[in-house]
Chains A and B, each alone.
Chain A
């Protein structure tokens, strides 16, 4: 095994040299090849080899031999998915460039494919989350009478599927598709609400600290320092333990506690950013001019500071949302987050996770937990792509 890797590396190294040499002689020593470092040539060869392997693996996925096809099933799906998403994003971007207002057209013109993919995905998620009740074929808690548990996804009866339940059923016979769709509503909705709350707390306090300064700033900042010295997931788990005792006694659902706990923990990060952004704005001369004019605190914060902080705050909102969303997913996965019977992606992964081990014989069975986990990943990836683009745009030509 190690020997093979070594041979492959040496082979590629030789190939890289040949590639550069050939490039130099064919193009008559054009600057591109003349000044090409050896490492870059090696990179080209490595890239080509990986690409060739992916193509080979993709054809293997269509192999008539079941064992081989199964083995490359997931790679095949991944490649198909990747290409499909890329095309969808591309089409969406073309659409955006030609439809809509002048402003949105201009925005789409300078947009990388990753960002248009992100926006498209976020829109689709939003639609699913808002209209979950109308889209989902079954209820999220509905155990359909007469339907077996653990129906394999794929809808092919020969492989243990059922066309009526294309994504299969879970361990107690609920429709996985419906639960995935409701999961969008529950998981995304709760994460969104939590992020909003975190911004409300952290943003308000951060701007106040930046504008007023003095002892308020000192007290708040030291408190935030202490809270941030405890890793957030650990602190959340600790507080959730306590909340899980309180919740039944007070008759408040545990999920409400979770929203508050995560919002408070996350608001510390928002506070730091809002304070930093606020401080950058507060030193501006136009704020001094407004202060000297005799303007009150409300005018300063809402008319002068806030409008100038929207761009960094919006980007931070995206990042915070991802973080909150992942924290909630992690808590649910660990069994202390969103509580059943509410459909939730993290919980679904935990419940269905064992099926991954059947991937070799029944690849379709293993897709169920991956679908739920993938649904989480897809949204956070999408949001991150958009945020990355926004940050890149606002940083201008610095890079």
Chain B
């Protein structure tokens, strides 16, 4: 067991290191911006005093290395900085509206996005694994070929195409779900679920296709291994071959598939939230990109990257844990 623990700790350390480097990359990227933020926020006609006041307000007069560590220190304490859009407003009015920090802006939206991701995962994971196993078992049949065409098509389609198709059929032609996801705080769970249904289904379509294909490939790969043939030649029932011999070994690849695709969700969520005007972190990100609200963009980027790294790390660790060779060393 000590061996496994050591490997896991190594992976964790590596993950943390990656995260740190990623934060540097993001910070450096943002600091590649030309000129002066304060200047560009206020426009050409700004007085030098106003520019200086905003610079001081945002800490832009510090050298970059100091700013990086200030930012990183803040992030570690949950302080993601001050939104430019809000700071701008505060500097002019001289009042603090109370919702100026990026963290305050992001928190509720982050919760919304997590909700959407979880609904999607709850539908997609069982659905795609069952479909994947079925397709692997019935490979080269009509069912397998039909699902192959269907999944390839939905992987290939841009998310907004799938979204509009779903809106067309499930919201406009057959009004089952609302096409706009105007979610707000304090909404009842059922209503929230209903409003999140179309974005969740869109994401499900994309993720299921990926997950199903990968599960199918993993299972087919597994079924071709000599020990499965051996199990069959021992006269075991097909059910027992699958449950006892295939599944324990399929665990690692399937966990990997799930984690990879949940990570994929992170990218998909951006476009889907925009289509459905879902108040999540993806939409905030796109809006901030458009108005160049750097601290928000920076924070969202970091959150997305963290989620991405954590999911991959989880997959890594889970597959180490499910490997009998590592669990039972010689």
A329 within 8 A of B: yes
The answer on a CB contact under 8 Å between B25 and A380 is no
Cα–Cα, bound, A322→B140 (Å): 26
Are A329 and B158 neighbours in the complex by a CB distance under 8 Å? yes
Chain A interface size band reads: 35 or more
A398 close to B (CB within 8 Å): yes
Check A232/B267 contact, CB under 8 A, given A241-B292, A370-B168: yes
- A237 lies within 8 A of chain B by Cβ: yes
CB pair A234–B304 under 8 Å, yes or no, is yes
Task: Name the segment of A95-103, A196-204, A332-340 touching the other chain.
Answer: A332-340
Interface check B77, CB cutoff 8 A: no
Which of B93-101, B149-157, B189-197 binds A? B149-157
With beta carbons under 8 angstroms apart, the residue of A249, A359, A385 that contacts B34 is: A249
Q: Tell yes or no: A313 within 8 A of B by CB.
A: no
A105 contacts the other chain (CB 8 A): no
Q: Does B29 contact A242, Cβ atoms closer than 8 Å?
A: yes
By a CB distance below 8 angstroms, the chain B residues around A47 are 142-143
Residues of A within 8 A of B149 (CB): 114
B40 at the A interface (CB under 8 A): yes
Partner of B156, one of A40, A245, A246, A377: A377
Q: How close is B151's CB to chain A, nearest CB, in angstroms?
A: 10
Are A333 and B271 interface neighbours, CB within 8 A? Answer: yes
A15 on interface, CB distance cutoff 8 Å:
no
Residues 262-313 of B contacting A (Cβ, < 8 Å) = 263, 266-267, 270-271, 274-275, 285-286, 289-290, 292, 294, 297-298, 300-301, 304-305, 308-309, 312
B69, CB-defined interface residue at 8 Å = no
Q: Which residues in window 227-269 of A have CB below 8 A to B?
A: 227, 229-235, 237-242, 244-246, 249
- Which B residues lie within 8 Å of A246 (CB)? 33-34
Number of residues of chain B lying within 8 A (CB) of chain A: 62
Q: Is B22 an interface residue (CB 8 A)?
A: yes
CA gap between A185 and B196 in the complex, in Å: 37
In the complex the two chains form, is B167's CB within 8 Å of A356's CB?
A: yes
Q: Smallest Cβ distance from B322 to chain A, in angstroms?
A: 23
Binary interface encoding of chain B residues 152-172 relative to chain A, with 1 for a CB under 8 A from any of its CBs, else 0: 110111111100110111001
Decide if B292 touches A237 in the complex (CB within 8 Å): no
Asked whether A191 is an interface residue with its Cβ less than 8 Å from the other chain, the reply is no
B158 and A71 form a contact (CB under 8 A): no
The answer to whether A366 and B308 have CB atoms under 8 Å apart is no
Interface core residue of B149, B160, B174 (most chain A CB under 10 Å): B160
The answer to whether A244 touches B169, judged by C-beta atoms less than 8 angstroms apart, is no
Contact of B289 among A241, A326, A346, A384 (CB under 8 A): A241
A326, B268: Cα distance in complex, Å: 11
CB-based contact A242/B30 at 8 Å? yes
Task: Please give, as numbers and ranges, the residues of chain A lying within 8 Å of B285 by CB-CB distance.
Answer: 234, 237
Residue of A nearest to B213 (CB): A388
11 residue pairs A–B, Cβ–Cβ below 8 Å? A74-B173, A230-B22, A231-B266, A234-B267, A238-B298, A242-B29, A242-B33, A329-B160, A330-B159, A353-B164, A359-B172
6 closest A-B pairs by CB? A380-B156, A373-B161, A377-B157, A381-B156, A233-B267, A359-B172
Please list the residues of chain A having a beta carbon within 8 angstroms of any beta carbon in chain B. Answer: 40, 43, 47, 70-71, 74, 114, 225-227, 229-235, 237-242, 244-246, 249, 322, 326, 329-330, 333-336, 346, 349, 353, 356-357, 359-360, 366, 369-370, 373-374, 376-377, 380-381, 383-385, 388, 398-399
